[in-house]
Homo-oligomer: A and B are copies of this chain.
Amino acid sequence: MIFDSNSLEGLKFNQDGLIPAVVQSVASNKVLMLAWMNEQSLALTLETRETVFWSRSRQQLWHKGATSGNTQRVVTITKDCDGDTLLVMVDERGPACHTGTETCFDGNASTGEQVS
């Protein structure tokens, strides 16, 4: 375990005890999804080295891929400059999105057009 637990000290969780986690693929560099972690899900993520989030809709821990098999192996976790966002680099197994697309940003092609 090379991970330095001190490095995630001082994280700022919001009033609901949550912090946003941007999940990016180490293979494609695509942003796969944004999800939320609380202290417990972050601890489980570090322990299992697979992403575990807090599902705001279901109000429960959410081990990504537990049912679909599309788990995400955690490679690195980095906090941002003010400690209120996490960037989680992962090796993903299968599509990230529950719709079956590689990322949660793939299903809205019309929004992906050139702005200028």
Name A residues whose Cβ lies closer than 8 Å to a Cβ of B: 1-4, 6-8, 20, 22, 24, 29-31, 33-34, 46, 49, 73-82, 85, 87, 97-99, 101, 104-105, 107-108, 110-116
Contact = CB atoms under 8 A, between A and B. Distances in A.
Copies of the chain in the assembly: 2
A66 B71 CA distance: 41
Contacts of A76: 111-115
Contacts of A22: 22, 31, 34
A43 to B, nearest CB: 13
19 contacts: A1-B115, A2-B114, A2-B116, A3-B113, A3-B114, A4-B111, A6-B110, A7-B108, A7-B111, A20-B20, A22-B22, A29-B30, A33-B80, A76-B114, A77-B115, A78-B105, A79-B105, A85-B104, A87-B105
